[in-house]
Amino acid sequence: MHRAGISHGELYLVNNLAIMVSQLQVVGIHEIFIDGSFVEDKDHPGDIDGYFVCGALDLPRIEEELNDLDPHKIWTWSRMARKPYKGKMKLPMWHRYRVKLFPHFGQPSGIRDEFGNELEFPAAFRKTRHSHKPKGLIQIIGGRP
């Protein structure tokens, strides 16, 4: 069943995503994709998940430049920076914005398919987590070319 309109919680997530996408675009990242509970037909999406394409060697520079832009310095993927929330360790970006955007440069995502194969982000984000059914992915278009 499709629902009409956007809730206050969804607007909060969209606004936070816009902040993070804008920061990515400022540092030259333009291939940005989202999925997660937000793009599925859920009544109360809890967050937005996604990834962006970059080079592995560029990641340290990108992380530094993003943290220069963000007043909360949330751009890190370090396990040491994660803090607990309801029994799960969450990234600083999730705690601040309820959005998780991961760098993708051809590495495995940590997510496995139904056969136990570790998937890269593009493949992992195109399947539901538990049933492994195909699902869509949204590419963010706009901003600077």
Is 51 part of any domain? yes
Is 1 part of any domain? no
Is 2 part of any domain? no
Arithmetic mean of pLDDT, 69-75: 98
The 10s digit of each residue's pLDDT in 76-104 is 999 999 999 999 999 999 999 999 999 99
Is 102 part of any domain? yes
Is 145 part of any domain? no
Phi, psi angle pair for 18, to nearest 5°: -60, -40
The 10s digit of each residue's pLDDT in 3-60 is 556 778 888 999 999 999 999 999 999 999 998 555 565 556 688 999 999 999 999 9
Is 37 part of any domain? yes
Q: Which domain holds residue 55?
A: 8-140
pTM of the entire predicted model: 0.88
pLDDT of 69 > 50? The answer is yes
Please count the structural domains in the chain: 1
